[in-house]
Structure 1
């Protein structure tokens, strides 16, 4: 085998081993069930209020199905990452856009690491799962950590969250992951 192939193989094996070790450590670590609110860093002129701070674990909504899934509560403005044993691994508040999906079951249809949102803000960890009235609906977080400013008559389908929550959702929500939207 040429030296370059040995080198690439060695790096690949090392990277896989490192990821495996990190995955085992992450599984053994704490699994937060509620996120802490932080002040908004959005542009002046009145930003959307920060999501409400949770005072304790918030139960996964009844009627949200079973198995591994992302649950999004329209009224609660909250997302749960639910594992195969129906345990909530993480829950966090979100800022919804002006166009909301109808209650029902969807799947993550595509993912995009980063782009510019319809409001002109750089966003990342984008998971598309629905469309309504020609507007794509997706979870994402602003790169700068800001909440979306008021839409000002513009139709937006972005459901924004804090960066740490966006990273967790990105890791959890692969293409094909079930998304259940409840009232």
Structure 2
């Protein structure tokens, strides 16, 4: 009997190590490439974006992943809706909130057709993908078409789009859709 027990324990150990290895690989595949930088956490969007690229190109950045995805570039306040063949279906400028998400890969976690934004503005087509320090981050379109500058006194995670761009995002970014945030 001792050899059967030893075989059983060896099998359990091998299964546990395989599971841990798989989980470690999966976690590393979804981790950002470099160390996290500090968040703006309430800093005004304009002041924090002073270092942002002057050119703000509409070309899809090389470091934005592959396959169907939404790409959000913090450095240019720009979004790309990218099809499965890496074809850009649409690109547009956005107005970020006062809190940025960290660069990395996310999935759309929830959506709302119409709500009131943190700033009291009626918004539609809300596509949420992460939370930073208790602040929900997501794309939305103000019904009045406004793209306001973030209020530095209020922590907001709403990334505002025009109504037309919000419609396109709503149609493209369903629950589970990948969102890639890059610098």
Q: What's the TM-score bracket when you normalise by the shorter of the two chains?
A: 0.5 to 0.7
The TM-score with structure 1 as length reference comes to 0.68
Rate the CA distance shift 1:62–1:108 in 2: closer, same or farther, 3 A. Answer: same
Question: Which SS does the other structure have where 1:167 is aligned?
Answer: helix
Return the offset for 1:70: 0.1
Contact 2:111 2:125 in 1 (8 A): yes
Question: Which SS does the other structure have where 1:131 is aligned?
Answer: strand
Question: Which SS does the other structure have where 1:164 is aligned?
Answer: helix
Rate the CA distance shift 1:179–1:150 in 2: closer, same or farther, 3 A. Answer: closer
CA deviation vs aligned residue, 1:13-66 (integer Å, no higher than 9, x gap): xxxxxxxxxxxxxxxxxxxxxxxxxxxxxxxxxxx8xxxxxx9x8221111110
Rate the CA distance shift 1:72–1:159 in 2: closer, same or farther, 3 A. Answer: same
CA deviation vs aligned residue, 1:67-111 (integer Å, no higher than 9, x gap): 000000001100000000001000000000000000000000010
Name stretches of at least 5 consecutive residues in structure 1 with no aligned partner: 1-47, 49-54
Mark the structure with the bigger radius of gyration: 2
Equivalent runs, 1:72-87 vs 2, <5 Å: 72-87=72-87
The TM-score with structure 2 as length reference comes to 0.68
Q: Which residue of 2 aligns with 1:171?
A: 171
Q: CA RMSD in A?
A: 1.5
